Amino acid sequence: MKIRIFLPIFITAISVLSCTKDIDFDLNEEQERIVIDGFITNVKQKHLIKITRTTSFFKTYEEAPAAENANVVLSDGVESYLCIEETPGNYYTRELAFELEKNYTLTIDYKGKTYTASDYMNSINDIDSIETFESEDLIFGDGKMKLLASIAVFVRETEGIGDYYLWKYQVKKPDTAYKDMTPTFTDWIFFPDEFVEGKSPPDGWVFFDRIPTSEIVPGSIVRLQMFGISKGYYDFLVGLRQQVFRGGLFDGPQANISTNFDNGALGYFVAASEDIAFTTKE
C-alpha cells in the first residue's frame, strides 16, 4: 500500500496553517548508558560485539564513543567464548560457527556493572535459489516509469507462523570489489512470515528489491544473506525504522526501542541463522 503518500497531505495541510520556531528546550540529559550491537550466526567467522556509549542529544559525533576495557563473554549454557577487544569498543570471538537451535547469552562487565541478554538461534530453511530480473515500475517522486533491477529469492517456508526474516545483499560488478547494497538498517529487508506462511517454490514466495539497473549489469555477482531472526529482534528493527522515519501525524508516541539487555543497556544481542546464496547476471 502506498501509505507514504498520505504523510505529505497532512504535512501540507498543517503547514498552510502554522509557523515554526527553534527554541531552547531543557532536556533532562540523563547519565550515559551503554549501547551493545552484538550479532552472532552459524557461519564460520569472527563475530563482532560492538559496545558504544550514548551521547548528548544536541551534540553530534562522527563516531559514537567506544566503551573500552569491558569483559565480554558469550555462552551457550555449556561452553563459554571470551571476546577480545581488537579495536576500541569492538570485541571479537575467535573464528567459529555457532550451532543452530541453541540459546545464547551475552554477559558484559563494564565499569562495575553487569549487563546480560539472551537470544535463540532459530533455524530456518535454506535458500533454494535466487535470480535477478528487470521490471518497469513507478517510483514515487517524479511520476515517471523506470526500468528497475529486482532480485527474486525462492525459499520454502515452513508451515506455522513464527519465523522472521532479515535480508542483506552485496553486488560485485565485473572487475570491482563487492559493494554493500544494504549498508544501514534502513536498507535492510525484514518481515514476518505471516504473508508467505508455508509457501514453497515454484509458485512460492519471492522478494524484490528494486534498484537502478546500473547497479546490476551483465556479469555482476549478487551475494544475498538471509538471516532467521527472533521476534524480539524483528520488533527492535521495526522500532528503529519508526524512530528514523518519524515526522508524520500517524506516528505513535515517542518511546524507547525495546532491547533484550537488562540493567539499562541499549541495543540488541542477536543470535541468527544465516544462509548465503549467489547468482550471476547474464
Partner 1 sequence: MNIELLPSAARLNMVEVVGEAQNRNVEEVQMSTIDMKMETIKKIPALMGEVDVIRAIQLLPGVQSGGEGSTGFFVRGGGLDQNLILLDEAPIYNASHLFGIFSVFNQDAIKNAELYKGGIPARYGGRLSSVLDVRMKEGNSKKTKVSGGIGLISSRLTIEGPLIKDKISYVISGRRTYGDLFLKLLPDDNPASDAQLFFYDLNGKINWRINDKNRVFISAYTGRDVLGAGDLFNLGWGNQTISARWNHIFNDKLFSNFTGIYSNFNYNLGVPSGPNEFVWTSKILNYSFKNDYTYYLNTNNTVKFGIQSTYHTFKPALIEPGGENESFNKVEYFNRYALENGIYVSNEQKIGGRFTLQYGLRLSSFSNIGQDTVYTYDDEYNNTGFNAYESGDIYNTFANLEPRLAAKFTIDDNSSVKASYNRMTQYLHLATNSTGGAPLDVWMPSSTNTAPGVADQIALGYFRNLSKNMFETSVEVYYKVLQNQIDFADNANILLNKQLEGVIRQGGGESFGAEFYVKKQTGKITGWVSYTLSRATRTVDGINNGNAYLANYHRPHSVSIVAMYALNDKLDLSATWVYNTGTRLTAPTGRFNYGTELVPVYSDRNASKMPDYHRADVGLNWKLSDDDQRWKNSLNFSIYNVYGRKNAFAINFVDNEVNLPTARMTYLFSIIPSITWNFEF
| Interface of this chain with partner 1, residues 72 to 131, rule: CB under 8 A | none
Nearest to partner 1 of 184, 214 (CB atom)? 184
155 in Cβ contact with 128 (< 8 Å)? yes
Three cell numbers written together for 144: 515517471
Binding segment toward partner 1, per CB under 8 A, in 104-112, 122-130, 213-221, 237-245 = 237-245
Is the preceding omega at residue 202 within 30 degrees of 0, hence cis?
Answer: yes
How many residues make contact with partner 1 (CB under 8 A)?
71
Sole binder of partner 1 in the list 79, 142, 176, 184 (CB under 8 A): 184
Sole binder of partner 1 in the list 126, 134, 180, 194 (CB under 8 A): 194
Q: How far is the CB of 181 from partner 1 (least distance, A)?
A: 14
Other Cβ atoms within 10 Å of 159 Cβ, number: 9
70 in Cβ contact with 51 (< 8 Å)? yes
Site string for partner 1, 252-281 (x = CB under 8 A): xxxxxxx-------xx--------------
Q: How far is the CB of 278 from partner 1 (least distance, A)?
A: 24
Is the preceding omega at residue 192 within 30 degrees of 0, hence cis?
Answer: no
| Interface of this chain with partner 1, residues 152 to 181, rule: CB under 8 A | 161-162
* DSSP reduced 3-state for 192: strand
Other Cβ atoms within 10 Å of 208 Cβ, number: 15
| Interface of this chain with partner 1, residues 34 to 63, rule: CB under 8 A | 35, 37, 52-61, 63
237 in Cβ contact with 190 (< 8 Å)? yes
Q: Is position 29 an interface residue for partner 1 (rule: CB under 8 A)?
A: yes
Q: How far is the CB of 15 from partner 1 (least distance, A)?
A: 9
Sole binder of partner 1 in the list 147, 231, 276, 278 (CB under 8 A): 231
Q: Is position 143 an interface residue for partner 1 (rule: CB under 8 A)?
A: yes
Dist CA 175 CA 215 (whole Å): 14
Dist CA 124 CA 41 (whole Å): 12
Q: How far is the CB of 123 from partner 1 (least distance, A)?
A: 19
Binding segment toward partner 1, per CB under 8 A, in 114-122, 202-210, 215-223, 251-259 = 251-259
Dist CA 276 CA 127 (whole Å): 8
34 backbone dihedrals φ, ψ, rounded to 5°:
-100, 150
157 in Cβ contact with 142 (< 8 Å)? no
Nearest to partner 1 of 164, 207 (CB atom)? 164
216 in Cβ contact with 281 (< 8 Å)? yes
Nearest to partner 1 of 94, 231 (CB atom)? 231
Residue with cell 557461519: 43
Q: Is position 202 an interface residue for partner 1 (rule: CB under 8 A)?
A: no
Q: Is the dihedral of CA 73, 74, 79, 85 positive or negative?
A: negative
Q: How far is the CB of 41 from partner 1 (least distance, A)?
A: 17
Sole binder of partner 1 in the list 45, 80, 135, 243 (CB under 8 A): 243
